[in-house]
Amino acid sequence: MNPEGTDILGEFLPRLIKPVATLCVRRGLRFQEFLDAAKQAFTSAAEQELRRQQEAVNVSRLSVMTGLQRKDIKRLKEISCEEKQASLLARIMGHWQSHPQFCTKGGKPRILQHEGSDSDFVHLVHEISTDINPYTVLFELERVKAVSRTSRGVKLNEGALSISDDIPGGLTFLADDALDLYLSVEENLFDRNTVPHLHIRTSYDDICMESLPKIQLWLLEKGAQFHAQARKFISQFDREINPKLYDKEGGARVTLGSISYSTDQREEQD
């Protein structure tokens, strides 16, 4: 018996994957590249679902769940992937922005001394992961212009979490945001949790063209303020940040994303 919503999901599938198809067409990727990526994505999703259900992961089960041939599954499992790097940088910068140890009394990220194995920056990185060299992290943060060196140490640049100059990092954020959006809507539609996930959209389609820059700047400013408030509130309940919570069960993840998009819809219609 098919899971609830399978039929209607199949009907909407072309619309659901159209954003990815649009990105591919606009950036010159062909269907075969999309197809290869889809096979890898299906394999990864199936493996993650088996782990979530605490079931054994093997090629046969992955083949049945995805409809892919066993030889494809074996080939895809041999492909190495470095998807975690941008996520790790985001966690480190988020910790820097929210943990009192690394913030000023006013709540802004402190300039961190970075020289030596006992430096503030080393402690920051090790609170997130002890498996990576802090100086490798520092090099990458400098490369994407997320931090700057000063006479007192390294400072986190404003807007660093966007990593706007790092294309791989930016696309990783896009993938993570898209997955969270899909999961949020899926659970709201099919699981009907007692407290639904936030899913709000505000849109106007006849705005004066000369007003767009003003609106875009307003959205950037208010969005940054809202997320600063959200980080301050949510971080109170994070066990890594608050030692008083160590005796409580942890492991829950909370993600809040925001986007704004402004365009001349006459061009889209043409």
Give 145-183 pLDDT, tens digit per residue. 889 999 999 999 876 655 445 566 677 778 888 999 999
Strand-pairing partners, residue 103, are 109
Strand-pairing partners, residue 150, are 153
User: What are the pLDDT digits (tens) for 103-118?
Assistant: 888 888 999 999 888 8
What is the mean pLDDT of the segment spanning 203-228? 93
Look-up of token digits 């492909």: 79
Look-up of token digits 């929210």: 98
Strands, E assignment, the chain: 147-150, 153-156
pLDDT of residue 17: 93
pLDDT of residue 226: 94
pLDDT of residue 210: 92
* CA–CA distance, 113 with 228 (Å, rounded to integer): 24
pLDDT above 70 for 258: yes
- Cβ atoms of residues 91 and 128 within 8 Å: yes
* CA–CA distance, 259 with 220 (Å, rounded to integer): 9
Tokens at 165, concatenated: 């100059």
What is the mean pLDDT of the segment spanning 242-248? 87
pLDDT of residue 160: 60
* CA–CA distance, 88 with 127 (Å, rounded to integer): 12
| Three-state secondary structure call for residue 122 | helix
Neighbours of 21 (CB within 10 A): 13
Look-up of token digits 């945001």: 177
The C-alpha angle 96, 253, 104, rounded to 5 degrees, equals 20
pLDDT of residue 2: 56
Looking at per-residue pLDDT, the higher value among 3 and 9 belongs to 9
* CA–CA distance, 176 with 166 (Å, rounded to integer): 15
* CA–CA distance, 227 with 17 (Å, rounded to integer): 29
pLDDT above 90 for 230: yes
- Cβ atoms of residues 199 and 257 within 8 Å: no
pLDDT above 50 for 81: no
* CA–CA distance, 24 with 73 (Å, rounded to integer): 24
Distance (Å) of CA 142 to CA 102, 139, 203, 211: 18, 5, 37, 35
Neighbours of 119 (CB within 10 A): 16
H/E stretch holding 178 reads helix 167-186
- Indicate the residue type of 10: G
User: Which among 78-82, 85-89, 136-140 has the top mean pLDDT?
Assistant: 136-140
pLDDT of residue 78: 65
Half-sphere exposure of 218 (CA within 13 A, CB side): 6
Strand-pairing partners, residue 83, are none
- Indicate the residue type of 235: S
pLDDT above 50 for 120: yes
